[in-house]
Amino acid sequence: MSDANQRAITYSCAADALSGRVILVTGAGDGIGRAVSLALARHGATVVLLGRTQEKLEAVYDQIKSEGGAEPALAPLNLQVARPQDYQELASLLDNEFGRLDGLLHNASLLGEITPLESYPDGSWESVMQVNVNAQFLLTQALLPLLQAADDGRVVFTTSSVGRKGRAFWGAYAVSKFATEGMMQVLADELENISPVRVNAINPGATRTAMRANAYPGEDPQTVTLPEDIVAPYLFLLGPDSADVNGASIDAQPK
């Protein structure tokens, strides 16, 4: 395991370590995105909750407020249908509301079908590539000026083991995660010497969420790690202590 991976998974920080930072999380209403949003808020961050289901975002908002966290912002947006101008409007809103953006977590994803490429439905292929690849390109491009204006901006992508080694039947999801690893590496290399922004990826590993249950319907969820138990590498890569880590793909649950 790399030194950066070891530091990421064993990371712990003070309760105010992220105070003053504004961090946007996609897919913040459920699963890993929800758990990371709560953890970020518990460490002082102002979290911008982006997702497609308003009620889920509101429930996370309410929980952060009830725990005494900084008031979050709601950013309801369907990444499957959002157009470039929607991302530009979001960037303007963040600029007007906060005047800054310190972190961006690309977490929202679609699983698509578990089926051979030969019979993979083209509509599902397009949806997965739109949400998992194109949307994160458009969102990154729109938010980069704000991230580059921050003292130490952070971008974190979410990868998967099937985005590093292809596996039969994982179709568009696997291909989209290879693309995600590629986008992370290209952006990290572009910014390495010209900006304090650091760009990395996290592979959560098997985690007890709706997506995991869809992918493995026969699995007993009780045997799978809870999202709240893998937040350490997210806090590390979205916070101030990872300035020397760039272009890394971190395993939250190394084997």
Q: Which is nearer to ligand NAP, 158 or 242 (CB)?
A: 158
- The token pair at 113 is 């079908």
Residue 200 found at the interface with ligand NAP (CB under 6 A): no
112 binds ligand NAP (CB under 6 A): no
The values of phi and psi at residue 124, to 5°, are -65, -40
As given in the structure block, the two tokens for residue 7 are 């530091």
Residue 51 touches ligand NAP, criterion: CB under 6 A: yes
What is the C-alpha separation between 216 and 151, in angstroms, rounded?
A: 42
Residue from 61, 87, 173, 234 carrying the catalytic annotation: 173
Question: Does 157 help bind ligand NAP (rule: CB under 6 A)?
Answer: no
Question: Is there a catalytic annotation at residue 173?
Answer: yes
Helices marked H in the chain: 3-9, 31-42, 54-66, 84-98, 122-129, 135-149, 171-191, 210-215, 232-238
Sheet (strand 46-51) strand order: 73-76, 46-51, 22-26, 103-105, 154-158, 198-203, 249-251
Q: Does residue 204 bind ligand NAP (CB under 6 A)?
A: yes
Helix (H) or strand (E) holding 202: strand 198-203
- Report if residue 52 touches ligand NAP, rule: CB under 6 A: yes
> Which of residues 19 and 169 has its CB atom nearest to ligand NAP in the complex?
169
Q: Which of residues 100 and 167 has its CB atom nearest to ligand NAP in the complex?
A: 167
Tell me: does residue 78 bind ligand NAP (CB under 6 A): yes
Residue of 46, 185, 207, 249 that binds ligand NAP (CB under 6 A): 207
Of 80 and 195, the one with the shorter C-beta distance to ligand NAP is 80
Q: How far apart are CA 42 and CA 27, in angstroms?
A: 18
**Using CA atoms in the order 181, 186, 191, 192, what is the torsion angle rounded to 10 degrees?**
80
In the complex, residue closest to ligand NAP by CB: 31
Q: Where along the sequence are the contacts to ligand NAP (CB under 6 A)?
A: 27, 29-33, 51-53, 56, 78-80, 107-110, 131, 158, 160, 203-204, 206-207, 209-212
- Active-site positions? 173
